[in-house]
Structure 1
Amino acid sequence: MLTEQNKQQIAELYSKRTFSLKKFLLVIIIVPVIFFIGVYTGQLGNTTVNTTNDYGQVVNIDSRPAYLTKNIDFNLLWQTWNLLKSKYLHQDKLNEVELFYGALAGSVAALRDPYTVFFDPKVALEFTEELSGQFQGIGAEIGIKDNHLTIIAPLPGTPAEKAGIQSGDKIIAINQLDTTNISVDKAVSLIRGEKGTKVSLIIVHASDNQPIKLEIARDVIKIVSVSWQMKENKIAYLKITHFNQDTGERFKEAVNQIINQGAQKLIVDLRNNPGGFLDVAIELGGYWLDDQVMVKEMFYDATKNKDYKTVGNPILKSLPTVVLVNGGSASASEILAGALQDYKLATVIGETTFGKGSVQELENLSDGSAIKITVAEWRTPNNRVINEKGVEPDIKVERNYEDPDDNQLKEALKIINQ
């Protein structure tokens, strides 16, 4: 939540601007009353006196408001719909399609899970385009951490990275809109846009409490998910930026080149890799693991719990391996790093990862819209929880951004040469 000091600082930043912001149309979707965004899970009752320390106690912590214990008639939806259609002042602005999608989005938002979201057809298409490796925007993955809209990772060579955005930055305003309680998908829709247009962000770096204003021009973001180079002493440096649809094939080509050129050691860089497809992470794990559990999937219904095993040729197993991670390493990155760490097939160096260990399934609906639903959580082969905890590195090295030579990579090269 913004403090009064932050709000004043933001107001001052915008009062000094000399540029004109491109206005964004914010469509206010009226959600039927039966879909509440906030759901109370308890009430504060009367306090009682503790004769030992004179402090009050919270009672009735398991009680719920009466309206949550009653059966609800689904006809309330249509009653609300008809009232809006007959009495809303601005009938010329009332769009039935937006009203309908708003109702769906509201019911999903009532779960208060930032990773369970409803996508209308336009947003669903954008989401699919990103996973395929190309979209238009500034090139930064975002998520919710500690109830703040947070940069998971800026993508290499993108407008976001060039503007100085870093993993862990908090976004406190988008085009002057306060991001408190904003959903991830709403934030994404505001930040993305056509090439050449600009978005204004107010951010706070993780290392500073002073908000700064950034005006960033959007561009076409093309994701090259795998690249590599040979370092001194036959050390292959392999960078993976995403686990996308093309990553498996690109990784295979890179590994073949690494082996053919006689690499003797390997550094896998997963820093600022926000994740992607699970099956791609398992496919890549198969280059180290031989028919072994890569990750555990834990459901609310324990009978559905599942172990995912690798299938492949572990041709990298014999290569001493270091994995680089940071706070921008999330999801599939954490699965791969955690598995290699559990089996002691790699030394993990860097900073604690993001902690995105929940499982979402994307369900496409008949009209082109979609729902991304949290259905389970990931755990490492040794049953370590990833979600909200992250993967702790074996050797912690904080990034020194004043070092142009990348102090974390230098430490990885030092360790692997020992």
Structure 2
Amino acid sequence: MLPFLAKIKQQQPIVWAVAGLVVTAVFSVGFAVGRTQTQSVVLEDGSVIGLKEVRERANDVEFALFWEVWDMLQNDYLRGPVPEKDLFYGAVNGLVDGLNDPYSEFFDPREADVFESDLEGKFEGIGAEIGIRENQLVIVSPLVDSPAEHAGIQAGDKIYFIDDVDTAEMSVDEAVRLIRGPRGSTVVLTVSHNGIETVEEISIVRDVIRIDSVTWEVTDDGVAVIRIAFFNADTAALFNRAVVELMQEDVSGIVLDLRNNPGGFLDRAVSVAGEWIGNDTVVIERNENGDLERFPSTGVGRLQRIPTLVLVNGGTASASEIVAGALQDYGFATILGEQTFGKGSVQEYRELADGSAVKITISEWLTPLERSIDQNGIAPDVEIVFDLEAYKEGIDVQLEAALNALKSNAYGDPS
């Protein structure tokens, strides 16, 4: 899934709006005595990776073991010699994997390019966000109008095989590499739908995934339906355009559809929430020391007085949970649908000198009333279970319920 991300590039922090510790060097050629050590690795082509001062390492860690294994691999491996850069990147990846955190990852330069292209909203694949839940690879959400959605992939699906590769112990990054592929090619996912024990193979033809993050329409009854697929670079501008148009049409109510929204840039989510909340706190960050930092919006609350219902489901994650939780806390919206995913941890993303990058969990998000999102999610005010059979017949029971509720003013005006 798209994480909450604080992106740092060329040492300048930039909050992207997806949800930090940084590893810029791993093992040194020599170890100095003192409070800091200068660490670097010189590869066979003469390039230097990771030159920086770092804190002194623990005395009970025998770093010479690394070089002993390095030499074994270089000298004795059957299919050697192995390119040193491959070994180095593998070592860094293993270091981050040592956290046992599914959202902390190392990206080599190619993987970093793929990750950043995802955030720009264009890639070749099936159009589904994936994650790890209880050590199982799962579909967080299929993107709207994507090959995955058309093939029948649902939020919460457990993925057991990608083509003929078993996903047991597979990382999200490994799964992404296997699922991605050129437009027109096919990938087969062996899945079980949420709550169903039987498995099925679903063939999906990959395509170029281009998605406007915000779409909107006004029903004949004057209700605006705003769908946010994810929070990326174009979200703030598109949402502002939607608000301007809807204010001109004098709509009677709003359905904000955040179903299957896997998250995205934090600042875009804060901006969207600010159209209801104004300049109050949208989300709170709590670090490992328990310190709290509040993130207010700069919005002016243009939608405050318009009755609003928010649709959520198990694919509503990260930044979209921030928006739903904030509107719920302030009473500006009624939440309809199903329990959200529960991704409330914060990752920091930093690009390294050679084009690689690292993303590490540093804190967690709380709603304005200090409710924890991580592992808990947002519970809807009104539970409405998705009906797959009805959806196949063109009936979206959750959306219909929201539209009917606004038409009858079932949940009253916003506070």
Q: Which category of TM-score, normalised to the shorter sequence, fits these structures?
A: 0.7 to 0.9
- Could you tell me which residue of structure 1 aligns to residue 295 of structure 2? 308
Once residues 125 and 218 of structure 2 are traced to their aligned partners in structure 1, the CA distance between those partners, rounded to angstroms, is: 32
Q: Residue 360 of structure 1: CA displacement?
A: 0.6
In our comparison, the structure showing a higher alpha carbon Rg is: 1
Match of 2:42 in 1: none
Shift of 1:70: 6.4
Q: State the partner residue of 2:308.
A: 321
Q: What does residue 359 of structure 2 align with?
A: 372
Alpha-carbon shift at residue 302 of structure 1 (Å): 2.7
Give the RMSD, CA atoms, in angstroms. Answer: 1.5
- Distance (Å, rounded) in 2 between the aligned partners of 1:206 and 1:384: 26
Q: Secondary structure at the match of 1:236?
A: strand
Give the match for residue 44 of structure 1.
Answer: none
Following superposition, the deviation at residue 210 of structure 1 comes to 1.1
Q: Work out whether 1:409 is the aligned partner of 2:396.
A: no
Shift of 1:368: 0.7
Q: Partners in 2 of 1:145 and 1:82 — Cα distance?
A: 37
Map 1:325-404; keep pairs closer than 5 Å. Answer: 325-403=312-390, 404=394
1:226 and 2:241 aligned? no
Counterpart for residue 37 of structure 2: none
Structure 2: how far apart are the matches of 1:196 and 1:415? Answer: 42
Aligned counterpart, 2:262 = 274
> How many angstroms apart in 1 are the aligned matches of 2:78 and 2:216?
60
Residue in 1 that maps onto 2:79: 90
Match of 2:109 among 89, 100, 121: 121
Aligned residues: 350
Instruction: Give the C-alpha shift of residue 232 in structure 1.
Output: 2.9
Comparing 322-331 with 212-221, greater Cα deviation is found at 212-221
Contact kept, 8 Å, 2:270 with 2:323, in 1: the verdict is: yes
Partners in 2 of 1:162 and 1:376 — Cα distance?
36
Deviation for aligned residue 1:207: 3.7
Query: Is there any run of 5+ residues in structure 1 with no aligned partner, and where?
Result: 1-30, 33-68
**Structure 1 residue matching 2:275: 3-state secondary structure:** coil
Task: Provide the residue aligned with 1:204 in structure 2.
Answer: 192
Partner of 1:3: none
Task: Tell me the residue number matched to 2:168.
Answer: 180
SS of structure 2 residue aligned to 1:144: strand
The answer to whether the Cα contact below 8 Å between 2:228 and 2:261 also exists between their aligned partners in 1 is yes
| AA of the residue aligned to 2:155 | S
Which amino acid in 1 is paired with 2:77? Answer: Y
Give the counterpart letter for 1:343 in structure 2.
Y
Moved more, 71-80 or 256-265: 71-80
- Counterpart CA distance in 2 for 1:145 and 1:132 is 26
Q: Percentage identity across aligned positions?
A: 46
C-alpha distance in structure 2 between counterparts of 1:387 and 1:152, whole Å: 14
Paired AA for residue 277 in structure 1: F
Instruction: Find the aligned partners of 1:161 and 1:109 in 2 and give their Cα distance.
Output: 31
Aligned to 1:190: 178
Q: How does 1:277-296 map to 2 (within 5 A)?
A: 277-296=265-284
SS in 2 for 1:81: helix
SS in 2 for 1:233: coil
For 1:405 and 1:170, how far apart are their aligned partners in 2? 25
Q: Secondary structure at the match of 1:288?
A: helix
Quick check: 1:108 aligned with 2:108? no
- Among candidates 240, 247, 256, match of residue 228 of structure 2: 240
User: 1:180 offset after TM fit, Å?
Assistant: 1.3
Farther-moved stretch of structure 1 (251-260 vs 206-215)? 206-215
| TM-score normalized with structure 2 length | 0.82
The structure that is strand-richer by fraction is 2
Equivalent position of 1:166 in the other structure: 154
Segment drifting more, 73-82 vs 352-361 = 73-82
Structure 1 position 200, deviation (Å): 1.7
Q: Residues of 2 paired with 1:301 and 1:123: CA distance?
A: 32
- C-alpha offsets along residues 306-331 of structure 1, whole Å, 9 cap, x if unaligned? 11011121100011100000000000
Q: Which has the higher contact order (CA 8 A, sep 6+)?
A: 2
Alignment match of 1:79 (pick from 49, 61, 68) = 68
CA distance in 2 between partners of 1:209 and 1:264 (Å): 43
Distance in 2, matches of 1:113 and 1:72, equals 21
Q: Deviations over 1:63-86 (max 9, x none)?
A: xxxxxx961232222221111111
> Residue 396 of structure 2 aligns to which amino acid in structure 1?
D
Distance in 2 of aligned mates of 1:290 and 1:328: 27
3-state SS in 1 of match to 2:85 = helix
Shift of the alpha carbon at 1:194? Answer: 1.4
Shift of 1:199: 1.4
CA distance in 1, matches of 2:384, 2:327: 19
In 2: Cα distance, 1:195 partner to 1:394 partner = 41
Query: 1: CA distance between counterparts of 2:345 and 2:336?
Result: 23
Q: Deviations over 1:318-348 (max 9, x none)?
A: 1110000000000000000000000000000
Instruction: Say whether residues 1:254 and 2:242 are aligned partners.
Output: yes
1:215 Cα deviation from its structure 2 partner = 2.0
The answer for the alignment partner of 1:142 in structure 2 is 130
Deviations 1:201-226 (A, max 9, x none): 11111142111112222111001111
Gaps of 5+ in 2: 1-25, 28-57, 410-415
8 Å contact kept, 2:279–2:300: no
